[in-house]
Structure 1
Amino acid sequence: MAALNKYSNCLIKMYRAKSKDLGDEMKMILDHFDEQTTDIVSHRYSTALRGLPLYLRERDAISKTCVDTDLEETYTRGVKLGILKVMEDNLSQATKRCQNLAIILEETVVVEDLPDFPTAFMVLFGLLYALNIEYPKGLKYTFEAVQNIFVGLGEKCTNRVQSLKNKLFTL
């Protein structure tokens, strides 16, 4: 989290600079961040992590959202790995609250009740690393960036991640 704290502002600046090239999804992530008025640090970390796959030109989703009245199997079926965000199903509220954040590995919820997205992301990374699970093809660069830049494990990295690393170290 210390490295995420160190680089999150720089990442968000880089996302803003390229937001037109990165599409509507990045615009939504940045707009959501701009609307936040509480727990800014957690939202900054979330924005940095959610934008990373888009910035690295990976289009696989790392997270899914469902409501608490849905069957868990509906959202875990076919999911090799990811973060499941369970929202309350209360139509009377304008904004829905997050009930649960969970980690899915091989269609199974393996960790639940995580406090926020950055923690869930780092727990997912830790599980992949500790269990020696190969990074999924569609998020390979994202997890490689976390491993090499945020966690500092490994010296060699692909050109795409090395380019990101160079940009972060010069900002």
Structure 2
Amino acid sequence: MMRETLDLEAKKRNNEETVATMMARTFAHRRQEIIRDAPLIAVVKMRWPALFDVRELSAEFKRITTVALLPRFFSELDALSAKLLQVFSRKGGSQARTIQRVLVPMTQTDNIDVKRECILKALTVYLNEEPDKVVKEQLDTDVDVDGQAETGMVFGVRVIRKEGAEVHERPEEVLIVLEGVEVLTQLGNVPVAYAMLFALMYALNLRYPPEWKYTFEALQKLIMGLDGQRLSKKLQVLKTLLAR
């Protein structure tokens, strides 16, 4: 009964406080359902639509981990940025060239969102993974009047940019897709999408995708400080370099 009432409350405007209270009260039931039944994402979205909101997803993440998602994510990322750039600069070969290319936009603007996006993508490259395996870029000219495009995306972040846009300009749209379902939209920028995608792994009890397992491990253990004593060899090496 509580879930049905929450569903109705979530559809009302300017009702965030009521929804937040009800989400907190239904947490144990929702968590048990997600872990025990492992429902499809579409089913979770249908049953718990309020979960797919930046504010409520952040609250759910804090209920699970006790950590405030966005404040921790951005404060730690910013604190590590200078050392990460130093570590990246010591790479050689084709990987170094790719990192340099990824970092170019941050040399063209002082926009903090652009800097964070560049560093996050460079971190993925440094870990021998590919940013565009999960973050898919499109131009608005490739999107139809309904805002749709035949991307075939099953998992990841979809970024729609205006053709000819300057580096510092916000994307037209940033959204997250899980199991082919658009679960979060209007995220504003790619760094927020990284954080929200990470939070969804926790809230929905999902495994990290193999193509980005080290990136997610870095977000979890180096940036968010969750279970940071148990690192893969690759992340242990990076942590050692950052400590120098």
CA drift at 1:13? 1.9
Q: Residue 53 and residue 94 in structure 1: after superposition, are their counterparts in 2 closer, same or farther (change >3 A)? A: closer
CA drift at 1:23? 4.8
Q: For residues 233 and 86 of structure 2, what CA distance do their matches in structure 1 show?
A: 21
The answer to whether the Cα contact below 8 Å between 2:174 and 2:189 also exists between their aligned partners in 1 is yes
- Equivalent residue number for residue 29 of structure 2: none
> What is the DSSP-based 3-state SS (H/G/I as helix, E as strand, rest coil) of the residue aligned with 1:115?
coil
The answer to whether the Cα contact below 8 Å between 2:139 and 2:160 also exists between their aligned partners in 1 is yes
Q: Name the larger-Rg structure.
A: 2
- Equivalent residue number for residue 121 of structure 1: 194
Gaps of 5+ in 1: none
The answer to whether the Cα contact below 8 Å between 1:19 and 1:26 also exists between their aligned partners in 2 is no
- Superposition pairs of residues 1-171 of structure 1, within 5 angstroms: 1-18=74-91, 20-36=93-109, 38-39=110-111, 41-59=112-130, 61-69=133-141, 70-71=143-144, 72-75=148-151, 77=152, 79-89=153-163, 93=164, 95=166, 98-154=171-227, 155-170=229-244
Corresponding letter in the other structure for 2:213: K
Identical positions, percent? 27
CA drift at 1:26? 1.7
Which region of structure 1 is more displaced relative to structure 2, 16-25 or 59-68?
Answer: 16-25
Corresponding letter in the other structure for 2:126: Y
Q: For residues 156 and 52 of structure 1, what CA distance do their matches in structure 2 show?
A: 19
Q: TM-score, normalised by structure 2?
A: 0.61
More helix by share: 2
> What is the DSSP-based 3-state SS (H/G/I as helix, E as strand, rest coil) of the residue aligned with 2:173?
strand
Q: Moved runs in structure 1, 4+ residues, more than 3 A? A: 93-97
Which region of structure 1 is more displaced relative to structure 2, 8-17 or 156-165?
Answer: 8-17
CA drift at 1:138? 0.9
Aligned-residue Cα RMSD (Å) equals 2.0
Gaps of 5+ in 2: 1-73
Q: For residues 166 and 193 of structure 2, what CA distance do their matches in structure 1 show?
A: 22
